[in-house]
């Protein structure tokens, strides 16, 4: 049975969907004012793998991930760029989708935008006011009344008073309590706005997700996921809003992926260790980045560095080398490797253990190449099937091995020209020139592999 670590209970639980055979999953997406960074990649890849395996188990999954396309940061960046918020967000959404496809992700079933749900947001705020869970402050903004929701803090297992200690809470005279948070903001001059019963304005961040999730998946659904920084206040506030508005339990299982640290420090622009996905993909094949994320269980923190990516590259090359010039069976009978892989994934999506099973499979595959080609081809097919559940090994082996890093030296055309020249030099018994070419390629990170079929190459 599938076991899932539930942040709400603080322990692993046997997964039981609300409706048999069907799963509803909502994941908090990005605020689209800038390019995706590697922390975003961590969350996107984690929940892509979770969605793949849930479907593999036979569930009909409705995977919804929102896009926040109206926010203070968006408005500020659009003003700095002298462009409209819509122009900015459309450009960043397109960039995000491009990054995700390069990283090997499959798209969610639905990606609702906050600006598409303004009426639903306004309706939920109105319900909260009518029930006494919200009020309009003296500033005109509408706030959630945290002191009225008796279970506030249950996701983080903390009392309201404890959460205030050391937390960054906006202190406003318009609020009844320091922990009250905004549901609807009055517009400022030059900002985008929507009309509402409380004046022209726009929604607060937290209410957007409550409205989108309940409208896309219902007032009670199975899984809600996101990054580690969202547990408080965002997800805590989502629970308070949604359960106060509907009178029902909001979500059964809360899932949060681990953080990405850079050389053991928190990633921050001020520290100069902030990397966008595009920064990283300028140096490494996208699958290397994906492997780094997959090689740790989704709840574990990942330490990002060039060294960790180089180690991921080497590990992935071992898998691809096993498939190089290897026939793939059109069908196969699953072995113990499939059973062990699935057991690892059923234990809260333990991709680290699942990956170790792939390497054991590769060892047997390499042995079978010299003993039983039929068995080798079947093991290769099994390897590809299991790897696909992690979004790995989707490239041609030769292509990956030649492009696992982005070389600033020789391109593929120049490499092939030199290989052809070396081949001719060897035919002419000009071994001095042949050795010169090999040395030149090696000094530029190109390793040659000579065989009866000819010469192939990889980037070392």
Q: In the structure encoding, which two tokens stand for residue 167, read together?
A: 């937390």
* Dihedral of alpha carbons 2, 297, 260, 13, sign: positive
Tell whether the model's pLDDT for residue 271 goes beyond 90.
no
Q: Is there a single domain that holds both residue 72 and residue 153? A: yes
Task: Classify residue 319: in a domain, yes or no.
Answer: yes
pLDDT (0 to 100) of residue 406: 66
In angstroms, rounded to a whole number, what is the distance separating the alpha carbons of residues 121 and 124?
A: 5
Structure tokens at 111: 């990606």
Domain interval for residue 426 = 412-459
How confident is residue 409, by pLDDT bands cut at 50, 70 and 90? low
Q: Are residues 175 and 32 in the same domain?
A: yes
33 and 123 co-located in one domain: yes
Q: Are 394 and 417 members of one domain?
A: no
Quick check: is 208 in a domain? Answer: yes
Does residue 363 fall inside a structural domain? yes
pLDDT for 429-443, tens place per residue? 898 888 888 888 887
- C-alpha–C-alpha distance, residues 134 and 183, integer Å: 8
Domain boundary among the residues 374, 399, 424 is at: 399
Radius of gyration over every alpha carbon of the chain, rounded to an integer in angstroms: 26
Report the SS3 class of residue 400: helix
pLDDT of the residue at 272: 76
Backbone φ and ψ for 444, nearest 5 degrees, come out as: -105, 20
For residues 246 and 384, membership in a common domain is answered with no
**Residue 252 maps to a domain:** yes
DSSP H or E stretch at residue 396: none
Does 287 reside within a domain? no
For the domain that residue 339 is a member of, what is the CATH number?
Answer: 1.20.120.640
Q: Is residue 281 part of a domain?
A: no
Tell me: do 418 and 345 sit in the same domain.
Answer: no
209 known member of a binding site: yes
Torsions phi, psi for 328 (to 5 deg): -115, 125
Q: Are residues 358 and 441 in the same domain?
A: no
β-pairing, 60-65 vs 134-136, is unpaired
Q: Hey, CA dihedral for 163, 124, 85, 68, is it positive or negative?
A: positive
- DSSP letter for each residue of 299-316: TS-EEE-HHHHHHHHHHH
| Residue 142 predicted with pLDDT over 90 | yes
* Phi, psi (deg, nearest 5) at residue 21: 85, -5
Report yes or no on 296 lying in a domain.
Answer: no
Return the pLDDT at 179.
93
Residue 260 has pLDDT above 90, yes or no: yes
pLDDT of residue 50: 98
**Same domain? 219 vs 325:** no
Question: Count of domains in the chain?
Answer: 3
β-pair partners for 459: 446
- Judge whether 178 and 164 are in contact, CB under 8 Å: yes
Residues 58 and 127 in one domain: yes
Last residue of a domain, one of 260, 294, 319: 260
Tell me the C-alpha distance between 383 and 368, whole Å. Answer: 14
* Residue 72 maps to a domain: yes
The answer to whether the annotation marks 28 as part of a ligand binding site is yes
Q: Which two tokens stand for residue 341?
A: 């892989």
> What are the tokens at 299?
């709840």
For 217, the token pair is 């998946």
Residue 299 has pLDDT above 70, yes or no: yes
Residues 249 and 365 in one domain: no
369 labelled as ligand-binding?
no
Torsional sign, CA 155, 27, 288, 354: positive
Residues 332 and 220 in one domain: no
pLDDT grade, residue 411 (50/70/90)? Answer: low
Bridge partners of 135?
Answer: 143
Mean pLDDT of the 16-32 span: 98
Q: Which two tokens stand for residue 6?
A: 């539930």
Smallest CA-to-CA distance from 71 within 39, 101, 113 is with: 113
């Amino acid at each position: 049975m599938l076991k899932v670590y539930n942040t709400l209970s603080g322990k692993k639980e046997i997964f039981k969907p609300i409706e048999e055979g069907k799963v509803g999953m909502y994941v908090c997406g990005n605020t689209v004012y800038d390019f995706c960074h590697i922390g975003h990649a961590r969350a996107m890849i984690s929940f892509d793998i979770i969605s793949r395996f849930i479907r593999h188990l036979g569930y009909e999954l409705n995977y919804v991930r929102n896009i926040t396309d109206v926010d203070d940061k968006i408005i500020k960046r659009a003003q700095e760029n002298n462009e409209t918020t819509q122009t900015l967000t459309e450009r960043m959404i397109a960039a995000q989708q491009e990054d995700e496809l390069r990283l090997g992700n499959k798209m969610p079933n639905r990606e609702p935008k906050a600006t598409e749900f303004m009426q639903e947001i306004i309706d939920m705020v109105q319900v909260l006011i009518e029930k006494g869970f919200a009020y309009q402050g003296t500033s005109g903004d509408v706030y959630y009344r945290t002191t009225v929701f008796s279970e506030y803090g249950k996701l983080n297992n903390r009392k309201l008073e404890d959460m205030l200690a050391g937390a960054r809470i906006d202190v406003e005279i318009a609020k009844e309590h320091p922990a009250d948070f905004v549901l609807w903001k009055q517009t400022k001059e030059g900002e985008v706005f929507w009309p509402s019963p409380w004046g022209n304005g726009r929604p607060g961040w937290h209410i957007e997700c409550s409205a989108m999730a309940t409208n896309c998946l219902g007032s009670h659904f199975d899984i809600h996921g996101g990054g580690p920084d969202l547990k408080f206040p965002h997800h805590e506030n989502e629970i308070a809003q949604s359960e106060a508005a509907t009178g029902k339990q909001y979500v059964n299982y809360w899932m949060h992926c681990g953080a990405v640290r850079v050389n053991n420090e928190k990633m921050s622009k001020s520290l100069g260790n902030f990397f966008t996905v595009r920064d990283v993909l300028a140096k490494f094949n996208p699958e290397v980045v994906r492997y780094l994320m997959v090689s740790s269980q989704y709840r574990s923190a990942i330490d990002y560095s060039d060294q960790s990516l180089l180690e991921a590259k080497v590990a992935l090359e071992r898998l691809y080398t096993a498939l190089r010039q290897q026939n793939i069976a059109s069908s196969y009978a699953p072995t113990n490797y499939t059973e062990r892989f699935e057991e690892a994934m059923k234990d809260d999506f333990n991709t680290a253990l699942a990956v170790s099973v792939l390497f054991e499979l590769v060892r047997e595959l390499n042995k079978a190449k010299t003993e039983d080609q039929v068995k080798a081809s079947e093991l290769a097919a099994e390897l590809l099937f299991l790897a696909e559940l992690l979004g790995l090994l989707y490239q041609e082996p030769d292509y990956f091995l030649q492009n696992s890093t982005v070389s600033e030296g020789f391109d593929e055309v120049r490499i092939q020209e030199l290989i052809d020249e070396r081949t001719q030099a060897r035919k002419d018994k000009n071994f001095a020139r042949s050795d010169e070419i090999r040395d030149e390629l090696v000094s530029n990170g190109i390793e040659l592999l000579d065989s009866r079929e000819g010469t192939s190459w990889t980037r070392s």
